[in-house]
Structure 1
Amino acid sequence: MILSHEIPAASYWSLRLRAGRLLRLTALDGGAVCSTLIFADSDPVDRLNVPDTLKAQMSARIRPPMVLMSDRGTALCSVTGSSLDWHDCLTGHSLDAHVDAPGPSSYATDRNDWRRSARYGFLSELRKHGRGPADLHGCVNFFAKVAIGPDGTFAYEPKHATAGDWVTLRAEQDLLFVCSTAPHPMSQTWMPGAVRAEVEPGELYGPTDPSVTFRPESTRALAAAKAVLA
């Protein structure tokens, strides 16, 4: 184990992860959500591109062994395992309007129980890395499920994750992760959950790795990431 850090409920955190290492996220509470932005640390403009990631891999969700791709079609990280077969990436992160729906909240009135959106947390962490609002992009809401209902609208499942559910990501290049544990933007209640983040050494993988063989597009994305490291 290289690092273990608990992200409290309704909080935020960021991490630089070296290529080849594994990041394991574990839900510590039922209903926990970890909204996550991902950037290539070597290039300030290369970041997670959700539409291309989904289109290239014929999916409307994130699950193993998919590869999360950047704007340039380069692999950022691979989903090497998960206790859940569905992580939402369609609905974006929560805004201040979402957390104010039950009524206004501020530090002056609520102290440490002050409700803060994922956007607030993202911007707070991005400033630490010299970034700002222009760097916000489509995120992955790990541990959340939003399917398409029979009528074509989004259907959020509030009890998708239970305590102990997990997902592991293998960094294919040096990365910056920015995380928020604010509730999902479609949640009807303010019940955030904590998430544990653990970093472990990775292992070398070959041409039969599930992410490599998943689709031709994932093969090309991983090859492009290796070129970045060369």
Structure 2
Amino acid sequence: MSLTTSELRPESAVSRHVIPAGEPYLCEVRRGQTVRLLDLEGNQAIDTLFYSVANPRERYDAQRTLRRQNRAYLTTGSVLYSNLGNPLLTIVADTCGRHDTLGGACAQESNVVRYAFEKRYMHSCRDNFMCACLRDGRLKKADIGANINFFMNVPVTPEGGLTFEDGISAPGKYVELRAEMDVIVLISNCPQLNNPCNGWNPTPAEVLVWD
């Protein structure tokens, strides 16, 4: 883990938005701006995708990002690369220390496979992504790829599998990213109730942006 604090003060942010528990959010962050994702009450997974404003077909690429940094988790100093090989954002502060890149977003299909058929119609992160894309108009279903799960604890087992464990975050923990180009930030404040990624209790999160 690489824990680093920020000198940015909430009162100087140019924008602040609280995402209710289990809800989506979409915003833009301009090149050179810093965006903070804040876990208000602790143990809340924040599923996130990033896209170029100039060309939304250019998007966060999990495989390229992991290959270039040679590690499975993200923390301070991690550069998020696009599918065209360009830096999208850089993590510049992190008080949690480790963020998942492998677990993906919960969806109707995965809820059925992992939990039970009656979980099919529970709200999911993929639903959230789709709702936000529909309202915005620039992104479509095909644009939703492998995402980052900020604050989510997904250990890799010795056999190479994944498990969803109780979170390693806490109230007030945050991660900050500096935008290396103008980016669209697409968030699902995870509504999952079937595993401990949200402490069995989804809670609000806050997004702050500074110039």
- TM-score (structure 2 length as normaliser): 0.84
Query: How far apart, CA to CA, are the structure 1 residues paired with 2:19 and 2:148?
Result: 16
- Asked if structure 2 preserves the Cα contact closer than 8 Å seen for 1:25 and 1:168, the reply is yes
Query: How far apart, CA to CA, are the structure 2 residues paired with 1:173 and 1:104?
Result: 39
Query: How far apart, CA to CA, are the structure 2 residues paired with 1:96 and 1:128?
Result: 20
Cα offsets for 1:108-157 (capped at 9, x unmatched): xxxxxxx4200011001112232211010110000112121223221322
Query: How far apart, CA to CA, are the structure 1 residues paired with 2:194 and 2:64?
Result: 23
1:69–1:171 Cα change, 3 Å: same
Residue 118 in structure 1 maps to residue 125 in structure 2: yes
Q: CA deviation at 1:30?
A: 2.1
In structure 2, the residue matched to 1:139 is 147
Query: Which ranges in structure 2 are unaligned for 5 or more consecutive residues?
Result: 1-12
Residue 148 in structure 1 maps to residue 156 in structure 2: yes
Residue 37 in structure 1 maps to residue 37 in structure 2: no
In structure 1, the residue matched to 2:17 is 5
Query: How far apart, CA to CA, are the structure 2 residues paired with 1:21 and 1:166?
Result: 16
- Asked if structure 2 preserves the Cα contact closer than 8 Å seen for 1:98 and 1:117, the reply is no
Aligned pairs, number:
193
Query: How far apart, CA to CA, are the structure 1 residues paired with 2:77 and 2:38?
Result: 18
Letter in 2 for 1:117: S
1:148–1:185 Cα change, 3 Å: farther
Which 10-residue stretch deviates more, 178-187 or 142-151?
178-187
- TM-score (structure 1 length as normaliser): 0.78
Query: How far apart, CA to CA, are the structure 2 residues paired with 1:149 and 1:185?
Result: 23
Report 1:88-127 matches (<5 A). 88-98=100-110, 101=115, 103-104=118-119, 115-127=122-134
- Asked if structure 2 preserves the Cα contact closer than 8 Å seen for 1:30 and 1:162, the reply is yes
In structure 2, the residue matched to 1:169 is 177
Query: How far apart, CA to CA, are the structure 1 residues paired with 2:194 and 2:157?
Result: 14
Identity of matched residues, %: 27
- Asked if structure 2 preserves the Cα contact closer than 8 Å seen for 1:91 and 1:185, the reply is no
Cα offsets for 1:63-85 (capped at 9, x unmatched): 11111000111010000010122
3-state SS in 1 of match to 2:170:
coil
3-state SS in 1 of match to 2:99:
coil
Letter in 1 for 2:164: Y
Letter in 2 for 1:197: V
Query: How far apart, CA to CA, are the structure 1 residues paired with 2:111 and 2:16?
Result: 28
Rg larger for: 1
In structure 2, the residue matched to 1:52 is 64
